Amino acid sequence: MATDKKLCLSGRGVTKVFGIGRQKLTAVDHVDFDFHEGEIISIVGESGSGKTTLAKMLLGLISSSEGEIYFQGQKRDIRSGRKRQEYWKNIQAIFQDPFSAYNTFHKIDTVLLDCIRMRGGKHLPQARKVELMEEACGFVNLKYAELTHKYPFELSGGQMQRLMIARIFLLKPKILVADEPTSMIDACSRATILDYLMKLRDETGMTLIFITHDIGLAYYVSDTVYIMERGRFVEHGSADSVILRPREPYTRRLISDVPKIHEPWDLSTVVFA
């Protein structure tokens, strides 16, 4: 693990409880984590493990019920709207479903102009804004001239997700949380999306947090893997150590249950529950 690097985001006892009384549901249960600058982290869990809730807490979209999150070594304070907006200059997200991630009433320009405004470029001359948008679209191999005046839903899923990356390119945050960025798009477009994300990280040195249920994907992209089960981290460490030499029974079971192609997928051990 890259212990020599500076801490970027960390948490102590972070907990989220939904509901009250007997309907109480602990989605995230006292988790501790240390994400370093420039690291690629995967948080792996099955559906209902609380990984998306954790992602939303990291993003500051929902508050935590308990525990503290530290940003660059400082206690994160996002109680006021102004402070939240300041925080969101540093942390951004890519969501799972590109079809629901855009406001369908706004054209693509609006999405990109929002980012320029957020970087303090509200009063730039129009030509400079267009230049920036062209650059961002060019980064993900989209043509701005073809996109301007179009609505997001006129693009394919892969293109929409690339536009999301263009947005991040404009914003250049310190941390990017990618919540299942490839699970809704076809396998053939997946590599493209991952390539652009990696290129973006190499250029900006940002911390990349993948939230995924796909252990293969986590292994492929990340330096550090956190395995989450029912709101808790059961195991974490370097990708090689966690995926190839898992210590915890849950991780072992999870990895053995994923179908593979070079190693046998043993069905004889299956016990009907």
Partner 1 sequence: MPNPILEVRDLTTRYITRYKESVYAVDHVSLKLEEGKTLGIAGESGCGKSTLALSLMGYYFPPLHYMGGEILIDGQNISGMKPDIVRKSILGREIAYIPQAAMNALNPTRKIIDFIGDVVRAHDPSWNRQMIYDHARKTFEMLGLPAEVLQKYPVELSGGMKQRTVIAVAVILSPKVLIADEPSSALDVTSQKMVIKMLRDMMESGFIKGMIFITHELPLLYNVADEIMVMYAGQIVEHATAKQAVFDPLHPYSKGLMGSIIVPESGLRDIKLTAIPGVPPNLKNPPAGCRFAERCQYARAVCRGTSVALSAADPNRLYRCVVPEAELRRLYQSGD
Partner 2 sequence: MGHTIRQIFRSGKFVVGFTILMSVLLVLVVYPWWVPDPPLQILGQGTFFPPGIYVSAYDASNAPVLYTLNLRDAADKRIESRLSQEDRLAMQEWLVADGLPESAIDLADTDALLALWEEHYEPDRRLPGMTFARMRYYQRVDAGLDSLRSAGGGEILAARNPETGELEETGMVKLTDYANISQVANVRILPLGTDNFGRDVLTQLVAATGVSLLIGFVAGLIATAIGLTLGLLAGYIGGWVDDIIMFFTNLFTVIPTFVLLILISFSIGQDQRGAITIAVVIGFTSWVWTTRSVRSQVFSLRNRDHVNLSKLSGHSLPRIIVADILPYIASYVVMALILQISSGILAEAGLSILGLGPRTTEVPTLGLMMNWAMIYQAHVLGNWWAYLPVLLTIALISFSMNLMNTGLDQVFNPALRD
Contact positions vs partner 2 (CB under 8 A)? 56, 59, 61, 81, 84-85, 88-89, 92-93, 95-97, 100-106, 114-115, 117-118
Examine residue 262 and tell whether it contacts partner 1 (CB under 8 A).
Answer: yes
The distance of closest approach from Cβ of residue 164 to partner 1 in the complex, given in angstroms and rounded to an integer, is 17
Question: Residues 6 or more apart from 144 whose CB is under 8 A from it?
Answer: 130, 133, 134, 136, 137, 138
C-beta of 171 vs 215, nearer to partner 1 = 215
DSSP-based three-state secondary structure for 50: coil
Examine residue 166 and tell whether it contacts partner 1 (CB under 8 A).
Answer: no
Specify the stretch interacting with partner 1 by CB under 8 A; choose among 69-77, 91-99, 124-132, 181-189.
181-189
Question: Residues 6 or more apart from 41 whose CB is under 8 A from it?
Answer: 35, 207, 208, 209, 210, 222, 223, 224, 225, 226
The distance of closest approach from Cβ of residue 165 to partner 1 in the complex, given in angstroms and rounded to an integer, is 14
DSSP 43: E
Q: Which amino acid is at 241?
A: S
DSSP-based three-state secondary structure for 49: coil
Which sign does the torsion angle of CA 235, 236, 238, 239 carry? positive
DSSP 6: P
Pull the structure tokens for residue 85: 């907006």
CB 170 within 8 A of CB 119: yes
Angstrom CA distances, 86 to 79, 126, 173, 266, stand at 11, 25, 11, 50
C-beta of 81 vs 264, nearer to partner 2 = 81
C-beta of 93 vs 215, nearer to partner 2 = 93
CB 113 within 8 A of CB 200: no
If contact means CB under 5 to 8 A according to the sort of partner, which of partner 2, partner 1, none does residue 1 touch? Answer: none
Distance CA 161, CA 159 (A): 5
Alpha-carbon 43 to chain mean position: 9
Examine residue 34 and tell whether it contacts partner 1 (CB under 8 A).
Answer: no
C-beta of 32 vs 257, nearer to partner 1 = 257
If contact means CB under 5 to 8 A according to the sort of partner, which of partner 1, partner 2, none does residue 5 touch? Answer: none
Choose which of 81, 120, 125, 259 interacts with partner 1 (CB under 8 A).
259
If contact means CB under 5 to 8 A according to the sort of partner, which of partner 2, partner 1, none does residue 127 touch? Answer: none
Specify the stretch interacting with partner 1 by CB under 8 A; choose among 30-38, 98-106, 190-198, 201-209.
190-198
Specify the stretch interacting with partner 1 by CB under 8 A; choose among 56-64, 65-73, 129-137, 265-273.
265-273
Binding site for partner 1 (CB under 8 A): 46-47, 156, 158, 186-192, 194-195, 213-220, 239-240, 243-244, 253-255, 257-263, 265, 267, 270, 272-273
